[in-house]
């Protein structure tokens, strides 16, 4: 059995916050606003994996109303969610992601981001792919007010 999953997330960008994508801190003067560390890429991946398995979603598992998730390391949230998914017998085929962000350029950090995600999910680097697009100066992405991510994944089970 194979199942596809889709995850999406958007966070506002704010001066003085760290920009964290896929567990990697990227030097920039703005970062994601959020209850947790704001890692929009890991949030989208978490939702894609949970969605493929039909288990839950990030908001249900880790409610922003609960104080324990304030400033939480999103890699730990992803690890917990992935544990739940693998406990149900699923294995990962691949994940592909698009990050929409006007600045900075993500390409120089791509390998590091891929390796970090693979490390969190205990899979190979070639099972993960990440690419970035600008907003062509249009809308909230183009105005550097937000960053958003779409992630798809494929899971299989015997
Ligand atoms: Mg989020």
| pLDDT given for residue 104 in this prediction | 97
CA of 35 to the centre of ligand 1 (A): 8
Q: How far is the CA of 56 from the centre of ligand 1 (A)?
A: 15
How remote is the CA of residue 2 from the centroid of ligand 1, in Å? 26
Distance CA 73, CA 89 (A): 25
Would you state the structure tokens that stand for residue 153, as one six-digit string?
């994944």
Q: How far is the CA of 148 from the centre of ligand 1 (A)?
A: 9
| Total tally of structural domains belonging to the chain | 1
Bridge-based pairing state of the strands 128-133 and 91-100 = parallel
- Pick the closest to residue 99 from 34, 57, 155, 45 (CA basis): 45
Structural contact between residues 52 and 154, judged by C-beta atoms closer than 8 angstroms: yes
Write down the pLDDT at residue 66.
Answer: 84
DSSP-derived letter for residue 142 is H
Q: What DSSP character marks residue 149?
A: E
> What pLDDT is recorded for position 72?
86
User: Could you tell me how far CA 40 lies from the centroid of its own chain?
Assistant: 5
Distance 36 CA to ligand 1 centre (A): 8
| Ligand 1 centroid – CA 82 distance (Å) | 16
Rounded to whole angstroms, how far apart are CA atoms 132 and 77? 23
Query: Taking the model in full, what pTM does it have?
Result: 0.97
Give the range of the structural domain holding residue 112, as residue numbers without chain letter. Answer: 2-156
CA angle 128, 17, 66 (to 5 degrees): 80
- For residue 104, whether the previous peptide bond is cis, meaning omega lies within 30 degrees of 0, is yes
pLDDT of residue 67: 84
Residues of the chain under the 50 pLDDT cut: none
User: What's the pLDDT score for residue 128?
Assistant: 98
Cβ–Cβ contacts within 10 Å for residue 86, how many? 16
CATH number (domain holding residue 35): 3.30.1330.50
pLDDT of residue 96: 98
Whole-number Å distance, alpha carbon 114 to ligand 1 midpoint, is 19
Compute, in angstroms, the gap from residue 3 CA to the centroid of ligand 1: 23
Alpha-carbon distance of 24 to 110, in angstroms, equals 10
- Cα(40) to centroid(ligand 1), Å: 5
65 Cα to the center of ligand 1, angstroms: 13
CA of 158 to the centre of ligand 1 (A): 31
Name beta bridge partners: 32: 13
The 3-state DSSP class for residue 52 equals helix
What does the block give as tokens for 67? 């104080």
């Amino acid at each position: 059995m194979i199942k596809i999953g889709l995850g999406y997330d958007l966070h506002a960008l704010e001066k003085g916050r760290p920009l964290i994508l896929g567990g990697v801190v990227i030097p920039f003067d703005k970062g994601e606003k959020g209850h947790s560390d704001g890692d929009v890429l890991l949030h989208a991946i978490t939702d894609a994996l949970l969605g493929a398995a039909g288990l839950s979603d990030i908001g249900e598992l880790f409610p922003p109303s609960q104080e324990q998730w304030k400033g939480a390391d999103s890699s730990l949230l992803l690890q917990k969610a992935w544990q739940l998914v693998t406990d149900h017998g699923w294995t990962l085929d691949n994940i592909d992601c698009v990050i929409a962000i006007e600045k900075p350029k993500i390409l120089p950090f791509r390998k590091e981001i891929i390796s970090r995600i693979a490390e969190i999910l205990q899979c190979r680097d070639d099972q993960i792919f990440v690419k970035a697009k600008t907003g062509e100066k249009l809308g909230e992405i183009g105005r550097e007010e937000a960053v958003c991510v779409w992630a798809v994944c494929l899971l299989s089970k015997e």
